Amino acid sequence: MKNKPLAKPTVRPGKSKATTAAQTLRPKARVRTVDAEVKKVAKVARSAISENIHKTAMGLLAAGVIDKQTMRKFDETCIVELPVVSPDQVRRIREKWHVSQPVLAKQMGTSASTVKKWENGANPVKGPAAIVLRLIEKNGFESLSHMLA
């Protein structure tokens, strides 16, 4: 008994190269876009399970089973909240590593007055600055030098 091919090659109008039905249904450009989106969200996904669920949802979006609005709602549930750093934590992190406000500011790429305002509670520590402070807290300034090297 001979094995039959799963999909017969077809020629799309205007194309001279034969393609299978599966290739016609799933263009390569869209697959690359989905893979890029999965990698982007995987960096901030809460867990491996969440990452796998998100990858499945991206596949459903690519197949047209779910729409972009549904995917946006799903994305919102997968993203990890940024860490909150209190004024006391900023001071403790700085003192833990025995650096002054100007030195911490230089290492973080900000001004000494910004660090002073963080420690006084005048300005909240937001976004990337909060993440960098958490990295410094756990790994010291070496974690920054490895990223910038």
At 34, the amino acid letter reads V
82: DSSP letter? P
> In this predicted structure, what is the pLDDT of residue 11?
52
pTM as predicted: 0.50
User: What is the helix (H) or strand (E) element at residue 1, kind and residue range?
Assistant: none
Question: Furthest-apart CA pair in the chain: how many Å?
Answer: 81
> In this predicted structure, what is the pLDDT of residue 50?
74
CA distance 70 to 57: 9
Could you read off the pLDDT of 39-96 as tens digits, one per residue? Answer: 554 444 456 777 788 788 888 889 999 998 988 888 877 776 777 899 999 999 999 9
Phi and psi, residue 131, nearest 5°: -65, -45
Band the pLDDT of 32: cuts 50, 70, 90.
very low
> In this predicted structure, what is the pLDDT of residue 4?
54
Question: Which of 7-16, 19-28, 81-90, 110-119 reaches the highest mean pLDDT?
Answer: 110-119
Neighbour count for residue 85 (Cβ, 10 Å): 21
> In this predicted structure, what is the pLDDT of residue 110?
93
Selected residue with higher pLDDT from 67 and 148: 67
- Inter-residue contact 127 to 83 (CB < 8 Å): no
- Inter-residue contact 118 to 136 (CB < 8 Å): no
Selected residue with higher pLDDT from 80 and 1: 80
For residues 6-30, average pLDDT = 49
Selected residue with higher pLDDT from 8 and 65: 65
> In this predicted structure, what is the pLDDT of residue 17?
52
CA distance 145 to 149: 6
Helices and strands (H and E) in the chain: how many: 9, 2
> In this predicted structure, what is the pLDDT of residue 144?
73
